[in-house]
Structure 1
């Protein structure tokens, strides 16, 4: 009797049942392994190394209570939030996967008048009136360790990029609950000025501390650091230097050693300090700029205090002479692409004012990584600070875009090397006395015990403007029945607070990246649109140039007219006007054609992409099926 071929056995009932058993067994065995593979381009489902390091330090179980309302409502808002809540759950599962038994996650559905709702309120979770029946909607979490607790009142989807950072920060804060110490060094009256007897006799009051200082005191222990200090206190975690004008080498050495010990530095430097010139006239010569020349040179960074950045795209209008508004290309309102949307410090900021900011150039020293937080556009130029302070007209007159995006604020991260390899510098103002004492003392010299290099990675943030954190450039005062109310005009103070908060936290938080959003736009389409719009803008500029030239010609003809010819246009003027109208008509037609070409190119590309997505997979499956059928028929024929 002829044996049945193997194909007959496989396709029999017993063969199908055997394959099903093998498949179930395979899933059961592989399910026991916890390894996962993240195939997304942005590694969206992989925790950062910083988060893993924070979780690795847990020695006592941390509890995470996740609150999410399970509603039957299907409004666009609730459907979107449910989808986002699933992303949060997936991320928390990754935390649990790494932390193991050191992290417990509880999920609550805070329905009205339930114990879960009472728990949510006690944890500081805020409800949102999103449900059609007016019932509250909860989406937040609380992290607790013993008697320490941190809450994220509402997990807003617009902070999706910062989701991992927010959760890791909450865990880090319950692990180390004490307030970090922040030191502030500045020659400016940033801590305010008390009233002296003379001021009191004249009916004048002292100066209040800057709003930034008062805000920082809510979350940090803030200490004053004198400009002539020889050592930064060991308990200071972050040092904020604001316009360190004429800083001595001794103070720079103190900062250098502070960084070598692992301290974090935020320096607000300034080429044209407006705050430092308040007692002067508006258009007078300002006081000298500020830098940290010795430190910056060792880090591979340059900061020219004689130059400021002027940018045609970020220029603002400010009060000029006689109170008339004037364009100020060096008074920057940075937005859009000028703000790093992928960094924790700047990702939630829309606009920053930088009056007369300097630029950071150069290549970071070996072992340091540079991240640009704020930058100009390519339509920018470095201009003389003195000329920029005289008014915008002098800058615009000879403005020539450099094609360079200048760095206005940067962060350096890595192992810094000392700027003082020979140890502590001598105090130059006492050189003569030092020489005299040296002649009387033995030749032995004290051993150099200064640090030469960081043992661990640390961070330094450099900002090219100090005026930005002054109340006048960050807040507006609003008169209310309850007194003056300070309202932010921009994201200046948020930028400063974010930077200080990030550097004052766990070192591992600095390496927690912003998570990629789940939105994948047509980047090629946007690039095509940007290129076409650039061509469109060049057409507008050409049209404006033609208009200006025609107006100049009309003005010249007007000056040449005879007496008594006030309202009647001469033949030359009529010809010029006709020529202008013809040019305008031609330019409008050309611009209209450009728009049509732009729309056609974008529509064609979108159509090709859509058809590729719709037809590609079915086409590949069909081709594969035909190919397999052909091979099978060929084998059957061979038998």
Structure 2
């Protein structure tokens, strides 16, 4: 080969290399533009609801992500999660087409950025060395701001919901107005039995801080105000037909509803509930409306739940006994797939009823709170007449049925009054026969969940009321109103998967090896026990019966000991081989993953470049 040919060959190879690099750069730019999400659960793909919220942004939003990067160098879990949050925020920025501006701030100890984070209401985490770690977000539009005080890795499945909720609040700053109607004394008033002022329930104080509450003093209403979009119904004890019709029309025209019913409202102390039989009827129901919405509920049955029962002494200074009517729901009792309650720790309820989807109903019925699989139902009258919960436990006959205490109900419905408005109604607006859009309602089969005694310790301290929550009942009500009061896009957001994926193949290898190790260890332990037993027997046989002194081991005894030592060494060798095989399998799997991660993308780019070059050469030949 001449020098000229060598130069030409080198030039061609250099040109090919440049072509590959250019194709690789173009491919990376293309991939960055389009983004292919191959993760399980599409963790990097924003849901349609989030994209709708972003598209509806009216004013530019600034998001400042505070992340103490230098303080998390030795905390890989937190660093990984911070990267996940940052990637998600960049996706919001990219989808907004300039409506969202993202700023990344790394606050150092004793810096101005750290002071800004604290002033903005972000929550610092200790790093174990005396410094603070910030991992939070501040969003602002003009002079208004919202924040996420801290991103909790344990609540990673709520990440998209939290971010979308913050964007929605910044875009829709108007406070939600909530109408409240019902028959429980949750508002400040005079106790008719003592003639003393009865304060607001703490749930009312909490709601007033976040919503514009509008109390409807008289439940006998003909119409729900047109400017209300959210109604909270508490303990509708025998509401008149005209009120039921008003609620029916409110829901049909698009109003959102949160309703609390109960087979036995223990907080209902009205004397008017006493029946001729001596039984005080403290139940509530929306029977006619529930029937139209495909919801089954029996106001005459209380659910007993042994699996979630509070343990309370049945007698003074006695041993705690499960109270199967007073329940603490946690774990599987809270539907973690629903954002509205996914991050709640525990909910306390008492003498609750049950809900179910009516057979054949096409409504969407999503359980939010459920019982355990150790349950029973008892007639409300029988339940109320049992004074001792130890006796209640004795009368319970547990089954494996799981009951629903709270549910989200949605879908298209027809009016519960097909014959028209009741004769007593003064309703003057358009009478709707069906919903204009799918209704959104949350039904809770317990009203005691709102009572102070079920979720908070309330004490007076130097004239000030100090409340210390011990359950998340208040947060649950706030979340439910917040979710219903938001957009349909926000309502439809569901919990996402988690970014941290387990190495299932490695786990399987380790479990298999551990199983083999256990078998070998069991064999070793058994062999050791058997051999020591035999040696003990030989020593006993070799002992002098008169003096009790142990004589020198016989050749047979020595041979048995040597056999045991050899067997023990053999088993230990097998253990080492099993462990070595485990490490070898894991190392091979790691090597394969490294090859795929390192070589797969360059090989893909080379293939794309060669295909592009081949296609170009083919076109040139056809032209020539």
**What TM-score do you get using the length of structure 2 for normalisation?**
0.73
User: 1:18/1:521 Cα in 2 relative to 1: closer, same or farther (>3 Å)?
Assistant: closer
* Displacement after TM superposition at 1:227 (Å): 1.3
1:423 corresponds in structure 2 to: 420
Q: What secondary structure sits across from 2:348 in the alignment?
A: strand
- Tell me the C-alpha RMSD between the 2 structures: 3.7
User: 1:487/1:120 Cα in 2 relative to 1: closer, same or farther (>3 Å)?
Assistant: closer
1:273 corresponds in structure 2 to: 265
Match of 1:240 among 232, 235, 242: 232
Distance 2:101 2:52 in 1: 17
Q: Does 1:333 align with 2:332?
A: no
Does the CA contact (< 8 Å) of 2:313 and 2:321 recur in 1? yes
Q: What secondary structure sits across from 2:34 in the alignment?
A: coil
Match of 2:168 among 146, 166, 172: 172
1:572 corresponds in structure 2 to: none
1:76-475 alignment runs, 5 A limit: 76=75, 79-130=76-127, 132=129, 134-194=130-190, 205-225=196-216, 226-277=218-269, 285-318=279-312, 320=314, 326-363=321-358, 368-389=363-384, 390=386, 391-427=388-424, 449-475=430-456
Q: After alignment, is 610-619 or 503-512 more displaced?
A: 610-619
* Displacement after TM superposition at 1:608 (Å): 12
User: 1:413/1:487 Cα in 2 relative to 1: closer, same or farther (>3 Å)?
Assistant: same
Q: What secondary structure sits across from 1:496 in the alignment?
A: helix
Q: What secondary structure sits across from 1:493 in the alignment?
A: helix
Does the CA contact (< 8 Å) of 1:237 and 1:504 recur in 2? yes
* Displacement after TM superposition at 1:452 (Å): 2.5
Q: What secondary structure sits across from 1:236 in the alignment?
A: coil
User: 1:613/1:174 Cα in 2 relative to 1: closer, same or farther (>3 Å)?
Assistant: same
2:622 corresponds in structure 1 to: none
Measured against aligned partners, the alpha-carbon deviations of 1:113-137 in whole angstroms (never above 9, x if no partner) come to 54433543443334333262x3332
Distance 2:91 2:490 in 1: 17
Does the CA contact (< 8 Å) of 1:364 and 1:370 recur in 2? no
Does the CA contact (< 8 Å) of 1:49 and 1:511 recur in 2? no
Distance 1:465 1:214 in 2: 20
2:556 corresponds in structure 1 to: none
Measured against aligned partners, the alpha-carbon deviations of 1:340-386 in whole angstroms (never above 9, x if no partner) come to 11212221222211111111123377553121111112221222222
1:628 corresponds in structure 2 to: none
1:557-636 alignment runs, 5 A limit: 615=588
Q: What secondary structure sits across from 2:377 in the alignment?
A: strand
Q: What secondary structure sits across from 1:276 in the alignment?
A: coil
User: 1:425/1:119 Cα in 2 relative to 1: closer, same or farther (>3 Å)?
Assistant: same
* Displacement after TM superposition at 1:511 (Å): 1.2
Distance 1:35 1:106 in 2: 23
Q: What secondary structure sits across from 1:461 in the alignment?
A: strand
1:28 corresponds in structure 2 to: 26
Q: What secondary structure sits across from 1:275 in the alignment?
A: coil
Q: What secondary structure sits across from 1:183 in the alignment?
A: strand
Distance 2:411 2:582 in 1: 43
* Displacement after TM superposition at 1:173 (Å): 1.1
Measured against aligned partners, the alpha-carbon deviations of 1:79-135 in whole angstroms (never above 9, x if no partner) come to 332222111110011111211111111111222454433543443334333262x33
Q: What secondary structure sits across from 2:214 in the alignment?
A: strand
Measured against aligned partners, the alpha-carbon deviations of 1:151-183 in whole angstroms (never above 9, x if no partner) come to 222223233222211211111111111211011
2:487 corresponds in structure 1 to: 506
* Displacement after TM superposition at 1:274 (Å): 0.8
Does the CA contact (< 8 Å) of 1:65 and 1:105 recur in 2? yes
Q: What secondary structure sits across from 2:20 in the alignment?
A: helix
Distance 2:502 2:28 in 1: 35
User: 1:113/1:74 Cα in 2 relative to 1: closer, same or farther (>3 Å)?
Assistant: closer
User: 1:464/1:119 Cα in 2 relative to 1: closer, same or farther (>3 Å)?
Assistant: same
Does the CA contact (< 8 Å) of 1:230 and 1:250 recur in 2? yes
Does the CA contact (< 8 Å) of 2:458 and 2:466 recur in 1? yes
Say which one has the larger Rg: 2
Distance 1:321 1:393 in 2: 9
Does the CA contact (< 8 Å) of 2:72 and 2:79 recur in 1? no
- Count how many residue pairs are aligned between Structure 1 and Structure 2: 511
Q: After alignment, is 370-379 or 398-407 more displaced?
A: 398-407
* Displacement after TM superposition at 1:249 (Å): 2.0
**What TM-score do you get using the length of structure 1 for normalisation?**
0.72
User: 1:621/1:517 Cα in 2 relative to 1: closer, same or farther (>3 Å)?
Assistant: closer
User: 1:332/1:28 Cα in 2 relative to 1: closer, same or farther (>3 Å)?
Assistant: same
Q: What secondary structure sits across from 1:63 in the alignment?
A: strand
Distance 1:144 1:509 in 2: 19
User: 1:48/1:363 Cα in 2 relative to 1: closer, same or farther (>3 Å)?
Assistant: farther
Q: What secondary structure sits across from 2:329 in the alignment?
A: strand
Q: After alignment, is 344-353 or 173-182 more displaced?
A: 344-353
